[in-house]
Amino acid sequence: MATKTYRYQSEYAQMLRAEGEAKVLLMILDGRGVVIPDEVRRRITSCTDTTVLEAWIERAVHADRLCEVFGSGLEEGEEAGGDQGDGPHAVHVEPGAA
């Protein structure tokens, strides 16, 4: 009797998978010494698209700066961890654009 393998099909399972991938991404960036502004951290932890998270993880493994992970949408001050207040941080990565 053959059994079928289902790849994380439930909404709850997808959410847990995304949370885990976000945690891995933050750990990689932290381990590489990349400063993560609060707004970028929220962007990562609120992302539920595992395809986007996986692309960010692949980039983060070799990244020394946030723009190497998220593209050139980050301002110079954000790159250096400058303004971490309430101002908007331009981390715009569309799903599928990874």
> How far is 3 from 76, CA to CA, in rounded Å?
52
Measured in whole angstroms, the distance separating CA 27 from the mean position of its chain's CA atoms is: 11
Confidence (pLDDT) at 14 = 87
Measured from the Cβ of residue 8, the count of other Cβ atoms closer than 10 Å reads 13
Q: Are 55 and 95 in contact (CB under 8 A)?
A: no
Q: Are 89 and 40 in contact (CB under 8 A)?
A: yes
Q: Which residues of the chain have pLDDT under 50?
A: 75-98
pLDDT tens-digit map of 58-76:
999 999 999 999 987 654 4
What are the structural domain ranges in the chain? 12-79
Q: Which residue has the tokens 């331009």?
A: 90
SS3 label, residue 25 = helix
Confidence (pLDDT) at 71 = 84
